[in-house]
Amino acid sequence: MSWLKPKKRWRHLFKRSTHINVSQTKRSQSSVTMPHHVAIIMDGNGRWAKDQGYPRFKGHQVGMDNVKRIVKVANREGVKILTIYAFSTENWKRPKAEVDFLMKLPTQFLNVYLPELIEENVRVMTMGHFEQLPEHTKKAMRAAVDRTKDNNGLILNIALNYGSRFEITEAVKAIAEEVSKGDLSPECISEQTISQHLYTHELPDPDLLIRTSGEVRLSNFLLWQLAYSEFWFSPVHWPAFDEEEFLKALHAYACRKRRFGGLNEKEEE
């Protein structure tokens, strides 16, 4: 099935979404359903930089700074968990100079913003395959997790060197090992068993997925966890995805009816 024709429909939806009254949205957030867990695919750093006449590195730098702004808005609006897709297992295929720069960003982000995150009671969590990461990146992540472990505000969950297929494969391997040792019976394996072996076993599944830059795909992100999540695709590149755009996504979520495969009461009548 081709995605070319559906994309035209998505563009139409994007165009319509820009007419939301954001001032009204800001006033109404406290009285509407708020997603507990929001996941974001932060896409479009390079395209934003190209549009602005900057090198790609500039886009990544501005995109990093935007994380803090969105964290602040999410915290204020009552979102409890914010999971961000910072670096995928496929991103290693990019030019070495770009990868090296991207590996420095988590360290820079935490060095600059960790004091603010601590002050705002944000707890940092991480997930991904960390063995491949440079030591300075791992050190910065460990320090952030340790220094914020007692905070009980918004959880900022950073997916770094993350790939959902790898995550699921590792979960299956771990379950198979438990079975081979006799610690687990195959008949007892359930969806919950798999969920408990994923990186996100401490967290509820996302209620809302946001992807920026107009792309309409999951890109190997939280494939298991997003089974019943609501999706919001924004045409705005991540560095330009500001408070107004984030509130549009929250407003759109609040207007939807989640059925989880069932029917609501009115539909049953």
Residue 2 falls inside a structural domain? no
* DSSP category for residue 184: S
List the CATH number of the domain containing 54: 3.40.1180.10
Per the annotation, does 226 bind a ligand? no
The total domain count for the chain is 1
Note the pTM of the prediction, 2 decimals: 0.85
Segment 169-182 shows an average pLDDT of: 98
Residue 78 falls inside a structural domain? yes
Residue 210 falls inside a structural domain? yes
Alpha-carbon distance 193 to 188, whole Å? Answer: 8
Residue 177 falls inside a structural domain? no
| Predicted confidence (pLDDT) per residue in 211-262, tens digit | 999 999 999 999 999 999 999 999 999 999 999 999 999 999 999 887 666 6
- Contact (Cβ atoms closer than 8 angstroms) between residue 17 and residue 252: yes
Per the annotation, does 184 bind a ligand? no
- Contact (Cβ atoms closer than 8 angstroms) between residue 84 and residue 155: no
| Predicted confidence (pLDDT) per residue in 95-135, tens digit | 999 999 999 999 999 989 999 999 999 999 999 999 999 99
Residue 231 falls inside a structural domain? yes
User: Tell me, what's the pLDDT at 93?
Assistant: 94
Residue 250 falls inside a structural domain? yes
Residue 24 falls inside a structural domain? no
**Any idea what the Cα angle at residue 98 is, between residues 200 and 38, rounded to 5°?**
30
Per the annotation, does 256 bind a ligand? no
**Residue span of the structural domain in which 111 resides:** 34-165+205-256
**Catalytic residue IDs:** 43, 91
